[in-house]
Structure 1
Amino acid sequence: MLIGVPKEIKNHEYRVGLTPASVRELCSRGNQVVVQKDAGKAIGLHDEQYVAAGASIVDSAEEVYGRADMIVKVKEPQPAECAMLREGQILYTYLHLAPDPEQCAALMKSGAVCIAYETITGPGGGLPLLAPMSEVAGRMSIQAGAAHLEKSKGGMGILLGGVPGVAPAHVVIIGAGVVGTNALQMAVGSGARVTVLDKNVDRLRQLDLVYGNRIVTQYSSAQSIEEAVLSAELVIGGVLIPGAAAPKLVTRRLISRMKQGAVVVDVAIDQGGCFETSSATTHAEPTYVLDGVVHYCVANMPGAVARTSTFALNNATICHAAALAEKGWKEAIKDNAHLKNGLNVCLGKVTYEAVARELGHDYVPAKDMLH
């Protein structure tokens, strides 16, 4: 199969779909790979390294899309990229369709076979292709929150860990999944006072065993969220419903009652966000202030540490890329129920139930597209 790797064009997005090591893996299996010129240059992955791994370098995205049987990306295709997709072409990338009806419509119109990293499941449960970026985003959320608590960046002017004789900041983490757990590690390490909320009591029990009295665990309810958020200097939102829009757990009214200069970091913004006041921002302008509260809602947080993120992502995505290239999408999906869960849009049909429900499209089960 001929596999294409375009350069990402989203604002401040420097990740790349395949590393030279991944290209080598695919080429060793008899595939061909074309990479757009300078696709990985910003993170130190140069064209010469791709050529040495077996790829060909082409000048334009149009040539990548025009020649490739499968496109491997990182972020969801922008409108200009959707327009270059063609019927039957495989698109393998993050999509996050539930809050993005325009993208969904464009992908349906293209007739492409669109496989979303974020809904592919794993043998042990969970979302293994989303997990590495959730790990990065969870850890970054504390970095970003700490920085924006500084007065010069709009915050109240508080040091996350405090100093002897001065209380640390109170960090509240909503959701104890991959994002929340990684945020928790960083927050505890900083010396902050940390509260984590989740509806999964078994998960809270696990965290309590690890961290003991260094954290407070609370069952997530409207009451416990309100109490925690009102006492917080930094709130991390990390709640995910696979493929669906994130639930709005913190209301506009609650935001308006928070401490002035407090910071909220919405890691769920790719799926619409879990704060009612959240609107997607970019690395160029990462924050805005609403009701005196600093909102950090960057939709591609891991792009800020693009080299780390690219390698972490490739570790998770290469196995399915190799299967798709070797077998074609139909056989690869027939052979792997977890990969089948990644099929979101196929030949003009929406094949992921949560996306169809959120956006009002007819749902066609993935198995029905395999005849």
Structure 2
Amino acid sequence: MIIGIPKEVRDQEYRVSASPNSVEEFIKAGHEVIVQKDAGIGIGRDDASYRRAGAVVVDTAEEVWTNADFIYKVKDPVESEFKYLNEKLTVFAYLHLAANKALVDAFLNSGATGIGFETIEVNGKLPLLKPMSEIGGCMAIQEGAFLLTKAGGGKGKLLQGLPGVEPSHVVIVGGGVAGTGAIRTAVGIGARVSVLDIDVERLAQLADIYGSRLETVYSNEYNVRKAVKSADLLVGAVLVPGGRTPKVVSEEMVKSMEPGSVIIDIAIDQGGCVETIDKPTTHTKPTYLKHGIIHYAVSNIPGTISRSATYALSNVTTRFALEIANKGWRQAAIDNPSIAKGINLAEGKYVHPAVASAFGQEAVDLNSIL
């Protein structure tokens, strides 16, 4: 199979799907690998390192997309890449389709197969989403700490307290992987930290880990409203695997926050869980002000810590990419239920139920097209 690794084109997206080490694995398995020029420059790996691994380096994205059978990338295709989709092509990446109707239509109209990192499931867990969610949670606190300063546009508060001065209140909505990353960082800094979740068992686990350093709160409308009102930094970390995120934090709740407070919605890839965040922002222009509150909704938070993120991503995605390349997506899905869960769209049809539901559609039974 010919595997294509294009250079990522989103704003300040410096990750690459495959390190030279991963490329070597594909080559050893008998595949051809085409890498776009400078694809690895953001992780300190030049074209020569990919050539040494056995890849062919080409100048343009078009050469990668049009010659490959299997596109292995980090982020979902953008509009300029839609034209390359076709019925013979498989795309393996973070797709986040539930909040991207234009991309869904591009896949459906072309007949291309879309396999999402974020819905590959192993024993009820999402191992390909986990490392980037952890990074998103940690980075949300780092970014939030700066945005709370006057230089960042905020109210001028330090996350950790000082003698005689109370710490900032960090409220995290969602206690999953991203939320836990945020909790670990915020607690470590010394902030007052509250987490809300509907899973009482998960709250109990977090309470066992962090004890009195973490306030665990059951997530219902009353408790969310109360917590949001007192938040200096609000982190949205709600996840519906493959589906659109519900708006847990309403506009009225946002209006109740003190001016200069900060909201960071890690869930923006799936539509976001904060009503006043209705569109992604970029690293170049990461924030906007609404109701006096700083809103941050960058959809590729890990893109700027590209080296760490790339190797973390490569560690968990390469084996699945290799299996798909070795067998083709159909046989890989038959042999491996985890890969079957990753198939979002194929042959012009919705396959993943959560993606279909986001657009009021019914998913087909995957077995009917295998």
Q: TM-score higher than 0.5 here?
A: yes
Q: Is the 8 A contact 1:15 1:303 kept in 2?
A: yes
Identify the residue that residue 55 of structure 1 maps to in structure 2.
55
Please state if 1:133 is matched with 2:127.
no
Instruction: State the 1:176 CA deviation.
Output: 0.4
Q: Is the 8 A contact 1:88 1:347 kept in 2?
A: no
Q: Is the 8 A contact 1:3 1:31 kept in 2?
A: yes
How many equivalent pairs are there?
369
- Counting only pairs closer than 5 Å after superposition, residues 164-243 of structure 1 correspond to structure 2 as 164-243=163-242
Identify the residue that residue 302 of structure 2 maps to in structure 1.
302
Please state if 1:158 is matched with 2:153.
no
- Counting only pairs closer than 5 Å after superposition, residues 209-288 of structure 1 correspond to structure 2 as 209-278=208-277, 279-288=279-288
Instruction: State the 1:85 CA deviation.
Output: 1.8
How far apart, in 1, do the equivalents of 2:205 and 2:226 lie? 23
Please state if 1:84 is matched with 2:84.
yes
The one-letter amino acid of 2:92's match is Y
Instruction: State the 1:368 CA deviation.
Output: 1.4
Identify the residue that residue 67 of structure 2 maps to in structure 1.
67
Partner SS for 1:363: coil
How far apart, in 1, do the equivalents of 2:95 and 2:361 lie? 16
Identify the residue that residue 119 of structure 2 maps to in structure 1.
119
Instruction: State the 1:88 CA deviation.
Output: 1.8
Instruction: State the 1:148 CA deviation.
Output: 0.3
Partner SS for 2:75: coil
Instruction: State the 1:362 CA deviation.
Output: 4.1
* Cα offsets for 1:320-358 (capped at 9, x unmatched): 111011111111010011110111110211111111121
Q: Is the 8 A contact 1:324 1:332 kept in 2?
A: yes
The one-letter amino acid of 2:318's match is I
Moved segments of 4+, more than 6 Å: none
How far apart, in 1, do the equivalents of 2:366 and 2:130 lie? 23
Partner SS for 1:35: strand
Instruction: State the 1:302 CA deviation.
Output: 0.8
The one-letter amino acid of 2:232's match is E
Partner SS for 1:141: helix
Q: With the length of structure 1 as denominator, give the TM-score of the two structures.
A: 0.98
Instruction: State the 1:365 CA deviation.
Output: 2.0
Q: Is the 8 A contact 1:19 1:310 kept in 2?
A: yes
How far apart, in 1, do the equivalents of 2:182 and 2:42 lie? 27
* Cα offsets for 1:282-303 (capped at 9, x unmatched): 0000001100100111011111
Partner SS for 2:159: coil
Identify the residue that residue 102 of structure 1 maps to in structure 2.
102
Q: Is the 8 A contact 2:37 2:58 kept in 1?
A: yes
How far apart, in 2, do the equivalents of 1:226 and 1:217 lie? 15
Identity %: 49
Structure 2, unpaired ranges of 5+: none
Q: Is the 8 A contact 1:353 1:365 kept in 2?
A: no
How far apart, in 1, do the equivalents of 2:73 and 2:265 lie? 24
Supply the RMSD in Å over aligned alpha carbons. 0.9
* Cα offsets for 1:226-266 (capped at 9, x unmatched): 11111110011000001111110110011011111000110
Partner SS for 1:210: helix
How far apart, in 1, do the equivalents of 2:182 and 2:77 lie? 28
Q: Is the 8 A contact 1:13 1:303 kept in 2?
A: yes
How far apart, in 1, do the equivalents of 2:82 and 2:259 lie? 42
Structure 1, unpaired ranges of 5+: none
